Amino acid sequence: MRRAATIWRVKDLAQTLDAVKATRSRTEKLALLAGLLKTLDDRALVAACRVIIGAPLAVQDSRALGVGWALLLEATLAASHLDEGALLHAARTAGDFGDGLEPLWPAGRDGIPLVEVLELFEGLAASDSRDDKRERLTAALRRCSAGEAKYLVKALLGELRIGVQRGTLDDALALAFDLPAASVRAASALTPDVGTLALLVKHHRLTEASIEPGRVVAFMLATPAETVKEPVDPSRTIVEDKLDGVRVQAHVVDGRVTLFARGTGDVTATFPEVVSALAALPGQVVLDGEVLAVTADGGPRPFQALQARLGRTAPDAAALAQTPVAFVAYDVLFDGASLLQAPWTERRRRLEQLGVRLNPVTPLEPTQPVDTQLEGLFAQARARGHEGLMLKRIDAPYEAGSRGSAWRKVKRALATLDVVITRAERGHGKRAGVLSDYTFAVWSGEALVEIGKAYSGLTDAEIASLTTRLQAIAVGTDGRYLRVRPEIVLEVAFDGLQPSKRHDSGFALRFPRIVRLRDDKAPKDADRLDTVRALFDAQVQSGHREASPQLGLFDDQAR
């Protein structure tokens, strides 16, 4: 008698993810994930992996699901008949929509098969109708158990936060199917779609993973220089300017150009002038580089200027004229054949033969102190309008997906400000129970005006202590925020300033991070808006910022 196929449901995955979230042990996380993954059939395995890392569609799929918070709320209410006020209150209290709805969800539902999650994602991406999307979501949620609803919502909103990054999942797949973790990670770098990777691992076909022009591969990443323990070897190191644009992988296949931005997928339609500039390259080529906003003479403009082009899938003639861009290459991954294992020197030689715009390089002088050389090169890079330096080993291969010491980035904070906390909110994941995100302000006359928000830089112990202090000085709530008396001072570092309509100061900090608590300072001793204006004016004069307000992409950006 033929055995009936096992129907794996999302609740099986949900139970595993609950256990994964509950432990801080990476070894235990891997064992839990591997224990589930090795039991799944092909389709269920693909679905599970996509949910785990919150990537509903394949990386090369340029479509969007078109599901926002408002649409998901409508579908959730229709599927559960919950009171909207109660659900919103629960979500605010939990700090997460999925976590908030789980305890309120109706009991007694059988659950939805994992394979149907793939069908749901595909249907949402294929539909152009908001009503149709809502109906699909409602129908799926009506069948979900509480745990299933929680994780489906989290996956759709990109709010999984269970401590599982792509590297963790790679290692779990290796453990599940008895393959070396290093081999799986190497294949993962060449196989951005986690579903495809999972099948290659399950069926022991890792040799099929290879660089293929037209299919994005993982970018090689740089490590902050101050976190690398080994010293710089000047005889084997070159220096480039660290460009302030969008990291882009350019694939040219017989005149057809496809552009992939790191973290955002296919951006070919966003930068048509880059497509035109690269289309003449012969054969098959894959370049790594940066798209920059440029002046009329080709010089770099600050990233602030490039914001006007981001998110526009079909920029009109006015946008192209107002914010022209250029692609600056600094590596080649494929030129008729894979160059990933070739040393930087060979890749650079091949890159220089292609005739594209290049990021210039400067070799370090072995007989001179490294720190002295870097000081001078850093000043020169800043004078050219760039944000820092990149140090690269000339004997290193292109380590796709790796963040090692072969590439190091040298950046420095523009400045620090002493600011006063005005609001706080709960974090996510392991920080859901503490106040870990802080909105802060500077003085304008006798009033405090908000200028940004940060969450990084404090230890868990400091956050726990600060949570107690903030709760003691709370004066009310504002949605998900806890408003507090202005009593606590922070020192905050940041990479730049730009005009912003979001904050009442009129400015936003770029990449703010907390340096330390300043309990030695009273709130009245915090910095003033005049100081902020002076810092911004200095940036404008040096060419590192432009005076006009932009889209505010860095408002509240601490992550």
For residue 425 the two structure tokens come to 């909110």
pLDDT of residue 396: 96
Confidence of residue 545 (pLDDT cuts 50, 70, 90): low
Separation in Å, CA 251 to CA 351, 408, 412, 495: 14, 25, 32, 31
For residue 25 the two structure tokens come to 């042990």
For residue 357, pLDDT beyond 90: yes
Cβ contact 62:266 at 8 Å: yes
pLDDT of residue 4: 41
pLDDT of residue 227: 67
Check if 10-157 and 415-542 are the same fold: no
- What pLDDT digit, counting tens, does each position of 265-311 carry? 789 999 999 999 999 999 999 999 999 999 988 888 877 788 788 87
Region of 263 on the Ramachandran plot (φ > 0 left; ψ -120 to 50 alpha; else beta)? left
pLDDT of residue 554: 38
Which CATH number applies to 10-157? 1.10.3260.10
For residue 412, pLDDT beyond 50: yes
pLDDT of residue 547: 60
Q: What is the H or E stretch that residue 251 is in?
A: strand 246-253
Pairing of strands 474-478, 481-484: antiparallel
Separation in Å, CA 372 to CA 358, 375, 377, 420: 26, 5, 9, 37
Region of 304 on the Ramachandran plot (φ > 0 left; ψ -120 to 50 alpha; else beta)? alpha
Cβ contact 460:405 at 8 Å: no
Cβ contact 514:454 at 8 Å: yes
For residue 7, pLDDT beyond 70: no
Dihedral angle sign, alpha carbons of residues 208, 209, 211, 213: positive
Helix axis angle, 146-157 to 10-22, nearest 10°: 80
Q: Please confirm, yes or no, whether 242 is among the known catalytic residues.
A: yes
User: Which string of b and e fits 503-515 if b means at least 16 CB within 10 Å?
Assistant: bebbbbbbbbbbb
Pairing of strands 403-410, 221-224: parallel
Q: Which of 224, 200, 197, 190 is nearest to 388 (CA)?
A: 224
d(CA 152, CA 97): 11
Average pLDDT, the chain: 87
- pLDDT (average), residues 243-250: 92
Confidence of residue 416 (pLDDT cuts 50, 70, 90): confident
Percent with pLDDT over 90 in the chain: 46
d(CA 465, CA 33): 33
- pLDDT (average), residues 157-180: 87
Cβ contact 144:111 at 8 Å: yes
Task: Give a three-class secondary structure readout of 37-100.
Answer: HCCCCHHHHHHHHHHHCCCCCCCCCCCCCCCCHHHHHHHHHHHHCCCHHHHHHHHHHHCCHHHH
Query: Of residues 29, 154, 242, 453, which has the active-site annotation?
Result: 242
Strand partners, 510: 496
More confident residue, 549 or 266: 266
* Amino acid of residue 116: E
* Close Cβ partners of 164 (under 8 Å, ≥ 6 residues apart): 20, 29, 33, 52, 53, 172
* Amino acid of residue 381: A
Cβ contact 137:25 at 8 Å: no
Q: What is the H or E stretch that residue 125 is in?
A: helix 114-126
For residue 440, pLDDT beyond 90: yes
d(CA 484, CA 478): 10
Separation in Å, CA 220 to CA 267, 288, 330: 19, 9, 12
- Class level of CATH domain 221-409: alpha beta
Cβ contact 176:34 at 8 Å: yes
d(CA 145, CA 107): 7
CA atoms within 13 A on the CB side of 450: 18
Does the pTM surpass 0.75? The reply is: no
For residue 430, pLDDT beyond 70: no
Domain ranges of the chain: 10-157, 221-409, 415-542
For residue 156 the two structure tokens come to 């759709």
For residue 1, pLDDT beyond 80: no
Strand order in the sheet with 325-335: 265-266, 256-261, 246-253, 284-293, 325-335
- Class level of CATH domain 415-542: mainly beta
- pLDDT (average), residues 355-377: 93
Separation in Å, CA 194 to CA 83, 173, 218, 221: 37, 10, 12, 19
Confidence of residue 498 (pLDDT cuts 50, 70, 90): confident
For residue 29, pLDDT beyond 90: yes
- pLDDT (average), residues 384-399: 91
For residue 549, pLDDT beyond 70: no
pLDDT of residue 162: 75
- What pLDDT digit, counting tens, does each position of 196-239 carry? 999 999 999 999 998 989 988 989 988 877 667 788 999 999 99
**H helix runs in 143-193, sequence order:** 146-157, 166-176, 181-190
